[in-house]
Every structure is written in C-alpha cells, then in structure tokens.
Structure 1
Amino acid sequence: MRVVIVGAGKLGCGYLVPLFLEAGHQVVLGCRTRDTADRIRSVGGWRIRVTGGRPEEVHGVATAAVGRGLDEAVAAADLVVLSVGVANAAGAARHLVPGLAARRGRPVDVWVVENAECAHLVTEALVETAAARELLLPPVGVAGAVARVAVGHGSWQASGVPEFLSDTTRQLAVDARPLRLAPPDLPGVRATGQYRARLHEKLFVYNAGHALAAYLGWLRGHRTIDAAIGDPFVRPVVAGAMLEGRRAILATYPGLLLGPGVDHNSDVHGPVADALARYDNTELADPVTRVAREPLRKLAPGDRLLGPVALLRDTAHRVPAHFALGIAAALLYGYGDEAVPTTDASARRLRRQLDERGVFSVLAGVCGLAADDPFAAAVAARYHGFVFTDDGVRFPPTAPLPGVGTGAVPSRRERLSGQVAL
C-alpha cells in the first residue's frame, strides 16, 4: 500500500510514519518546503523512541515537497493522511488538488488527524480549489481521525538527526462514515461510527487536562507537565476538571459506556486516572510551553476548555468550578514573562487584548461568553484572585464564591471594574 503522510512534525514523524512503515507499507512524507524535504532526505531518516524502550531508526521514507513531487505522490497513493495542525489543515488540502485530479477518477481516502473537527474544512478547501482551477476531483472520502498518543519531543528545526519521543498509548480512531475504501489493518487503528464522541472524549478530558496542567503549572514555575501535575496545588484542579468533563461526556454520549454490568465509576474515574498517569511520565518530560502554546485557539468556543464547559452546563446545569479556575489561569499565560509572548504570537495577542480591553471583553470576544454569563463572572473572579508573591503564585479557591458562579450575576459596576468580591 502506498501512503502519503503530509506533515513532518511530531505526530507525523513520531507516530504516523512508523505506524505504516512497521506494517510494511510504502510511505512518502509530504513537506511544506523543499528545504525540509531535502534535509530529511540528506540525513536518511530519524530516530523514534517510546518511553521505557530504546531508540529505533526510521529509514526508507521518501519525501516530497509541495509542488510536482507531492502531486505525483498523491496521484499514485492508496491513502493520504494529513497531520499539519488545525490552523493549517485547509491550506494543506489545497495543495492536494492537482494530485487528486491526476488520479482520473480513482477513489481515495484522506484521513485528517487533528485535535478538532475540521474534516469539513478540508472538504470545502478541496472542492473550492478544484472549482477555481477547473479540475475534476475523484471520489474522495475525507475522514477525521483521533490519535491517542503524546509526542513530546522531536523537531527538524534543530541540527543533526532528531529523535521523536512518545508515550506508550498509541491508538487511532478514524471516522468510518465518509470512507470510500476499507481502512488498512494497522495495530491500534480502527474505524468508528462514533467519531464525534471519540473526538470529544479525547479533547474534553485528556487534552483539557493537559492544557490546564500546562497553564496552572506555568503559573507555579514548572517547566514540564510531569512536574506540574506533581504539584499539590495543580493536581486537584486538573483532576477535578477532567472528572467534570468525563461525566459530561458520558451524559452526552451514553454509547461510550464500557458495557452492561460495568461499574459506572470505572467509566468516569478510569480514563482520568490513566490521563494523570500519562501526564506523570517523567521520561516524556513534555514541555509546559509546548502544551500551553496558542492559548487563543484553546480558549475558543468548542475547543478543549470551553467545549467541556458547554457540555457540563447542558447536562449538569451548573457552573464548573474547576474549569473556571483553569481558564482564568490560561488567561494569565505569559503574564510578566517576556519569553513566552516572544515565542508565542497567540499568547502575545491574548496579553495585549487583556491589557487593552479587560477580562470581560476577552471572555466575550475569544471565549464567546456574554458579560452577564455566570460562568464569565466565575472566571473573572478567579482571574483577579491569583496572588503573585516572591514565594510563588497562590491560587484562588476552586469552590464557588459567594454570589459568583452559582447563577448570580455581578453588578454592572463590578463587571466594568473587575472588582468582583473575593
């Protein structure tokens, strides 16, 4: 089987390429620039390592840059896999159109492996680009795919041969509904009829906890996720938020229950305990700044922080206190540290918006929360409740505050001044 994997980042090189190579398939790695393609070709491969194991060499991977090389690879492929980041998925899809048109009607599937429901954006980009260029697309099944693996290290930006380090959880769930062809038999890979449920299960529990550990951990001065989750101030907030999110997932998607006769608590607490153990992996040492990057995207409605909040409010009809504290911490990411805004444009924009417009304006514009929303009041109260001292950062209480986050709405004067009673 000939597979084109577009995206030479951590997930592509650390998980997807080895997955197909080990199963005996031919792989072409699609790269955004010719320089990256040439460099990978010149060093002859890279190393991968799963925590607890020894490094293994990855060889035999052809590379193709955007342009004629990628067009030829896509025209001959039996499967195309995109893993380029949510913000880049539609743009990368446009580069597939010439190769897809050259297939002369031969069907193909495109797996979109991202932490968001963006397969429809890829489909729209393919159709619009083909129409603009007056090209005819073959039958294409664009399917979202959820990867359960953490690749914390590895990059082609550094010199030498990179080593991509991942944890031991290695699973991929592909949306079965749009597929045109039968998926290949690969270890840990399965087609699912509950793609949205599986995506939300990962995004609103594991990814939500991961992000909260990063933002809370950064405030406490930690550099890696394992150090952050070991902090007695951070761990209870993260665990509490994930339990809130898991309960909301099971209430929204009851089909995800393990099965008849299984203790419901196992469905709630088991995945949370598993996630905490993965965060605790000292060998992975996932950098806090990697997990916390692009806070504006992570704070958007429907993403890993506000998505579970919406489910919780729909199913439990209450304000989730742990998420209120965690989102307040996310708003503070980069505060007082020039290094973070310098390397993270999203954090820089967030900081500027908060300084110029205030927290309620940001909660409205970024998070989609109205100023009179009780959850916005709860987040704002905690945002103003963090205390920065020479000994570290003190967290405001997680429990609902009097008159805040329980359904009561602060006065207009309090909202405008930000002086919600603590």
Structure 2
Amino acid sequence: MKAVHFGAGNIGRGFIGELLHDSGFEITFVEVGQEIVDRINATHTYDLYIINRNYEKKTIDKVKAYSPITQEKEIIAAIVEADIITTSVWADNLPKIANTMARGLKARLAAGKSRVNIMACENAFFATNILKKALLNCTEGMTEDEMTKIGGFANVSVDRIALHSIKDGVSVPEIDEAFELVIEKNKLVDPSAEPIKGADYADNLDMYLERKLYMVNSGHAASAYLGQLYGCATVQEALANPVILEEAVGTMKEAAKVLVKKFGFKEADLQYFIDKNIKRFTFPALKDEVLRVGRAPIRKLAEQDRLVGPAKQAEAYGYEYKHLAKAIAAAFLFVNLDDDQAIEVQDFVKQNGIEKAITHYTNIQADTELFKVILSNYNNLLHVKK
C-alpha cells in the first residue's frame, strides 16, 4: 500500500508517518525543506525517539521524499498511485499545497483510478473541509463533482505531543507515546474500513474535536500565553508555577462543563481527561517552548477555536468563564518576533487599541459581559508582563 503525506515536520514524521508505517504503507513525503528531503532519500529511512520510553529510538523505513518546488511531476505521479493521502502542514498552509494536490487528483481522475481517502491531519476544526475549500479556490480549481468522484474527504481529530531535537546535526522527531487520532468514518471511501491502525473511527466527530481543541489545546495555550507573561521559556516551567497551573486547569474545567452540557460527556471522564493531559504537559523530560505552543495567535483567537469557542459557549449556557477570559487576554499580549500573526496582533493593538482588537480577532462584541471580563484581565495582565 502507498501513502502520500504532505509535510515532513514533527507531526508528519513523528505522528502520522509513524502510524502510516505501522499500518503497512510505503510513504512518499512532500516537503519543502530540501535538507529533510535529502536526509530521507539518503537511506529511505528516518529515526524518531519516544520520550517517555527513555528516548527509545524507532526507525521508520520504506519512505522517500519529494520537493514540491522541483519535483511536482513525481508528486503528481505518486498521488495517482496512492492508497491514502494525508497532510500535516498547519491548517494555515493548506492553500499552499492545494495546487499540487489538485493537479495530482485531476491526473488520478483522468487515469481512471479509484477514489482515495484524503485526510488533513491538522490541529484545527474540520481541517479536511478547509482543504476541500482550498482545492476549490486554488488556481487549478477542482469542482465539487471532481472531488466526489476521486476522493473520500474525512475530517480527523489529532492529538500528540511531537517535538524535535538536533542529533548529529539532524533535526529528529521526539514524541510522546500517547496519542489520539479520531477519523470521521462516514466520509471514508469505505466507511467500514479502518485504513490507519491505532486510530479511532467515529460517527460524531464534533464531540471529539471539541473535547480535544477546547480542553487539551485550551489548557496548553493558557500555559503558553500566561507562561510568557511570567517569564517562563517552556510550558513545563510555566506549569511548575501554581498560579499558572490553576489557570490552565481552570480553562480545561470550564470547557469540560460546556461539553458535559452539549454532548453528554460524563464529568468524571472529563476530569480524568484533564488529569491525564496535565500529566503529559508536565512530563519532566519535555521541553515544550511557549513560543512554539503560542504561535499563530490569530488562528487561536478565532471565534470557534480553543479559547474563544468554549468561552462563548460557557457564556451562552450561563456558566463560569473567568479562566478562559484570562487566557484570551493573555493571548493579546503574546510576543514572538518570528511569528507573523503575533506581530500583526501587537501592531493592531498599538494602532487601534485593545477594545477594537478583541472584537476584530474574536468577534466578541463590546456590549457583552465576556468582552468586559477579557478587557479587565488584559489591563491587569499588563502589570504582570515581564
């Protein structure tokens, strides 16, 4: 079996690549970083390290890599022959890969090939739907009919800590053993098939997406944004501070209450979920930089995303949202000179004021109580900022 995976970063090699390999696929990576392409092709293998197994090395074989810059013809040919197509390029970058993928899918359609499962394994709500929209709107411009004829576009929920380190001058993935990959089974080409081993297959993906994004990612983001304000370099350092730990757990508990109401999760199960993830975040061997976790704040402040989404729903249900509001406020103070989104947010606040910025990025209106609590927290956090 053959897989084409766009993106050979930490998630690409350390998460999706590993699962595809263990499911019996030969993998073709599509990767813009020429050094990674050359390293993979030198041996047709790569190594990853499992953090909580004392950095046990695992070698992934039967892999190759192509550059979309210089080897698009080879990528198109690989898509024509693929049994599965996946991505992990960041949701914001899906439009950048759309033309190449569209050319490959059109060539596959012209060759009379069968439908293929296509999954965007990104840390965002319904990322495969985002990919479909990108395929419709790109220069190649696939039609809905073409996409239906050639692909099963299944959304997924992804969760794994995937970092990296430099070994012998090479960037290698370092992963947490625990992971969750939930696949929208009714969108697969064959809903009864389970193409990726170790994944869960669900009829209702919404509840899993929201549990992951609104609980795991909200707590992670709160740790990063507040951690930076308190002068912490890593999430682990931040969560060693009892004040930040309380805030991070608080965001997760507020989101959990929403999910109990909305989907019928059991409160005890979500408390276990919180405890398990806090244990993951605080694992001593991890060094998860706040700059990495907090990056792309515009996307993370979006109306349906990890902080604003549960906060607005909590407000609608009449539930507490003080911890979520504080994390949202902290996101507006996030500074990363290597992150275009962080720079844009800071420039917008300087030019227009925090009041306009809150509504501009979150769509939270100024006449709501949630807006007032966020604004109050922002002004208070200005005095904390290191």
Tell me the alpha carbon deviations over residues 19-56 of structure 1, each in whole angstroms, 9 at most, x when there is no partner: 12123321111123656523432365432111222122
Residue 372 (structure 1) aligns with: 367
Amino acid at match of 1:13: R
What's 1:420 paired with? none
Q: 1:70 to 1:349 in 2, by over 3 A?
A: same
Listed one character per residue, the Cα deviations across residues 326-382 of structure 1 (whole Å, up to 9, x for unaligned) are 111111112xxxxx2x21121111111111111110001111112222111111111
- In 2 relative to 1, CA 373–88 (structure 1 residues): closer, same or farther, beyond 3 Å? same
Distance 1:25 1:34 in 2: 23
Equivalent residue of 1:198, what SS? Answer: helix
Q: 2:207 maps to which residue?
A: 197
How many equivalent pairs are there? 374
Over 3 Å counting, the alpha-carbon distance change for 1:374 and 1:93 in structure 2 is same
Q: Residue 333 in 1 paired to residue 344 in 2? A: no
Aligned to 2:128: 119
Superposed displacement of residue 133, structure 1: 7.5
Q: What does residue 358 of structure 2 align with?
A: 363
Q: Name the counterpart of 2:220.
A: 210
Read off the aligned partner of 1:12 and give its amino acid letter.
G
CA 1:154–1:68 in structure 2 vs 1: closer, same or farther (change >3 Å)?
farther
Q: Match for residue 417 of structure 1?
A: none
Match of 2:323?
322
Cα distance in 1 for partners of 2:352, 2:203 equals 44
The equivalent residue for 1:412 is none
What's the counterpart of residue 284 of structure 2?
A: 282
Structure 2 letter corresponding to 1:227: E
- Between 127-136 and 164-173, report the one with greater CA deviation: 127-136
TM norm structure 1: 0.83
Contact 2:183 2:201 in 1 (8 A): yes
Q: Is the 8 A contact 2:95 2:138 kept in 1?
A: no
| Letter paired with 2:312 | A
Provide, for residues 178-200 of structure 1, a one-character-per-residue CA deviation record: whole Å limited to 9, x for no partner: 11135445442122111121111
In the alignment, is the contact (CA less than 8 A) between 2:222 and 2:327 conserved in 1?
yes
Q: Runs in 1 of length 4+ with deviation above 4 angstroms?
A: 33-36, 128-137
Tell me the CA shift for residue 98 of structure 1: 2.0
Change in Cα spacing, 1:265 to 1:351, as seen in structure 2 (3 Å) is same
Counterpart contact for 1:296–1:366, Cα < 8 Å = yes
Give me the whole-angstrom Cα distance separating, in 2, the residues matched to 1:186 and 1:109. 11
Matching of residue 142 in structure 1 with residue 169 in structure 2:
no
Aligned CA RMSD, in angstroms, stands at 2.3
Give the alignment partner of residue 67 of structure 2, picking from 55, 65, 68: 65
* Larger of the two Rg values belongs to structure: 1
The answer to whether the aligner puts 1:74 opposite 2:76 as a matched pair is no
Q: Which residue pairs with 1:396 in the alignment?
A: none
Q: Which ranges in structure 2 are unaligned for 5 or more consecutive residues?
A: none
Q: 1:159 to 1:374 in 2, by over 3 A?
A: farther
Partner Cα separation in structure 2 for residue 224 and residue 323 of structure 1: 20
Task: Note closer, same or farther for the CA distance 1:248–1:215 as it changes in structure 2 (3 Å cut).
Answer: same
Aligned to 1:282, the other structure's residue is in SS state coil
Q: How much does 1:2 deviate?
A: 0.9
The answer to whether the Cα contact below 8 Å between 1:130 and 1:136 also exists between their aligned partners in 2 is no
Alpha-carbon distance in 1 for matches of 2:341, 2:311: 22
Any residues of structure 2 matched to 1:17-36 within 5 Å, and which? Answer: 17-32=17-32, 36=36
Query: What does 1:241-256 align with in structure 2 at a 5 Å threshold?
Result: 241-254=251-264
List aligned pairs for 1:11-410, cutoff 5 A. 11-32=11-32, 36-42=36-42, 44-53=44-53, 54-66=56-68, 67-103=72-108, 104-116=112-124, 117-129=126-138, 132=141, 138-154=149-165, 160-181=169-190, 182-184=192-194, 186-254=196-264, 257=265, 264-315=266-317, 317-318=318-319, 320-334=321-335, 340=336, 342-386=337-381, 388=383
Q: Is the 8 A contact 2:156 2:184 kept in 1?
A: yes
Equivalent residue for 1:5? 5
Distance across 1 between alignment mates of 2:33 and 2:196: 29
Distance 1:35 1:72, change over 3 A: farther
Distance between the aligned counterparts of 1:346 and 1:133, measured in 2?
A: 29
Following TM superposition, by how much is the alpha carbon of 1:171 offset from its aligned partner in structure 2, in angstroms? 2.1
Identify if the C-alpha distance between structure 1 residues 230 and 180 changes in structure 2 by more than 3 Å, giving closer, same or farther: same
CA distance in 1, matches of 2:116, 2:255: 36
SS in 2 for 1:372: coil
The one-letter amino acid of 1:323's match is: L
Which amino acid counterpart does residue 224 of structure 1 have in structure 2?
T
Contact 1:10–1:154, Cα closer than 8 Å, also in 2: no
Segments of 5+ residues of structure 1 without an aligned counterpart are 258-263, 335-339, 394-422
User: Residues 247 and 48 from structure 1, CA distance in 2 versus in 1: closer, same or farther, beyond 3 angstroms?
Assistant: same
Which residue identity does 1:42 align to in structure 2? A
Q: Which amino acid aligns with 1:94?
A: N
Whether the 8 Å contact between 2:94 and 2:134 is mirrored in structure 1 is no
Q: State the one-letter code of the partner of 1:201.
A: R
The alignment partner of 1:162 has SS state of strand
Contact 1:301 1:367 in 2 (8 A): yes
TM norm structure 2: 0.90
**What letter corresponds to residue 133 of structure 2 in structure 1?**
E
Q: Give distance in 1, aligned partners of 2:178 and 2:202.
A: 18
Percent identity over the alignment?
A: 24
Distance 2:34 2:371 in 1: 46
Contact 1:46–1:161 (Cα < 8 Å) also in 2: no
